[in-house]
Amino acid sequence: MEHPKAAGIMHDLFRIVNRYVVDYFSSREQFLVIWPVIMRN
C-alpha cells in the first residue's frame, strides 16, 4: 500500500508550521486570535 506523497508532505508541513506558531506566539491570547486565521487559509 502506497501513501500519497502529498498527504505526507502536508502532514510534515503542518507539524513544522504548528510548532513554529506555538513557539512564536508565546502569548495564549495572540495564539488563539491568529490560529483561526491561519486555519482559514
Q: For the chain, how many structural domains are there in total?
A: 1
* Helix extents (H) in 1-41: 5-24, 28-40
Contacts of 17 (CB under 8 A, 6+ apart): 38
pTM over 0.75: no
| pLDDT, position 38 | 80
- Look up residue 25 and give its amino acid: F
Residue 9 lies in domain? 4-39
Q: Which three cell numbers stand for residue 41?
A: 487559509
Q: What are phi and psi of 26, to 5 degrees?
A: -70, -25
Contact present, 34 and 25 (Cβ < 8 Å): yes
* Tens-digit pLDDT profile for residues 1-41: 567 788 888 899 999 998 888 787 666 666 677 778 888 87
| pLDDT, position 23 | 80
